């Protein structure tokens, strides 16, 4: 009986930890998406200096927030986000509106995809 209680407790801790990680990923993804939307608005208004500062702030947020993500996420997806962020930064520095907007859109989709991919759902289990 004691073994059964210990196993049920362990399973409960693992499930709760999974929900907490998913919630944290979603909150972080929403904040990063908010930053990307702000940079997108600045680019559309041709405020390249503000867009440059915005993408630099986004990069700092990514470095700060993304430190714990490799513990629970695939490293390949993390690398893809970093590569995409570097491309977006370069396009903004060169004032390439179409390329910047396209890269930011791709970056946004990659960031929003991560919590969905890691969510504790039946679709992800099977």
C-alpha to C-alpha distance for 86 and 103, rounded to whole angstroms:
10
Nearest alpha-carbon partner for 69 in 80, 57, 58, 77: 77
Domain-embedded: residue 53:
yes
Pair of tokens at residue 30: 């929403």
Residue whose pair of structure tokens reads 């039946």 in the numeric block: 122
Provide the number of structural domains found in the chain.
1
Domain-embedded: residue 11:
no
3-class secondary structure, 119: coil
CATH, residue 112 = 1.20.120
Domain-embedded: residue 4:
no
Spell out the per-residue pLDDT of the chain, length 126, in tens: 888 888 999 999 988 888 888 888 888 889 999 999 999 999 999 999 999 999 999 888 888 876 777 777 777 888 899 999 999 999 999 999 999 999 999 999 999 888 877 666 666 666
Give residue 25's pLDDT.
Answer: 86
Could you list the residue range(s) of the whole structural domain that residue 48 is in? 19-125
Domain-embedded: residue 68:
yes
Domain-embedded: residue 12:
no
Nearest alpha-carbon partner for 88 in 101, 77, 79: 101
Domain-embedded: residue 34:
yes
Pair of tokens at residue 81: 């986000």
Residue whose pair of structure tokens reads 């370069």 in the numeric block: 90
Domain-embedded: residue 14:
no
* H-state helical runs in the chain: 2-44, 48-65, 69-72, 75-93, 97-118, 122-125
């Amino acid at each position: 009986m004691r073994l059964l209680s210990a196993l049920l407790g362990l399973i409960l801790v693992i499930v709760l930890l999974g929900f907490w990680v998913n919630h944290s990923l979603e909150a972080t993804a929403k904040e990063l998406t908010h930053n990307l939307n702000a940079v997108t608005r600045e680019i559309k208004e041709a405020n390249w200096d503000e867009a440059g500062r915005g993408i630099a702030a986004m990069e700092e947020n990514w470095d700060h927030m993304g430190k714990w993500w490799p513990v629970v996420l695939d490293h390949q997806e993390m690398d893809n986000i970093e590569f995409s962020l570097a491309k977006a930064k370069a396009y903004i520095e060169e004032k390439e509106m179409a390329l910047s907007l396209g890269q930011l859109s791709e970056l946004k989709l990659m960031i929003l995809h991560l919590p969905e991919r890691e969510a504790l759902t039946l679709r992800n289990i099977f």
